[in-house]
Amino acid sequence: MGVDYYKVLQVDRNAKDDDLKKAYRKLAMKWHPDKNPTNKKEAEAKFKMISEAYE
């Protein structure tokens, strides 16, 4: 089974587009590599997963 993108974005499966966008922006800001210079590798991986989930 593949990745559950709703779980990655921490939203319910019935979430509306606005909720998905808000969740993406919140997580993207939290895990952006520039915001996490001390933990850049993990931040990059999480940021990529969050971006993929939002697409």
| SS3 sequence of 9-51 | CCCCCCCCHHHHHHHHHHHHHHHCHHHCHHHHHHHHHHHHHHH
Total domains present in the chain:
1
Measured between alpha carbons, how far is 40 from 19 in angstroms, rounded to an integer?
A: 27
DSSP state of 6: H
pTM for the full predicted model: 0.87
Domain that holds residue 25: 5-54
Which CATH number does the domain housing residue 34 bear? 1.10.287.110
Q: What is the pLDDT along the chain (55 residues), one digit of tens a residue?
A: 699 999 999 999 999 999 999 999 999 999 999 999 999 999 999 999 999 999 9
pLDDT value for 7: 97
Cβ-Cβ contacts under 8 Å for 24 (sequence gap 6 or more): 9, 50, 51, 53, 54
pLDDT value for 1: 66
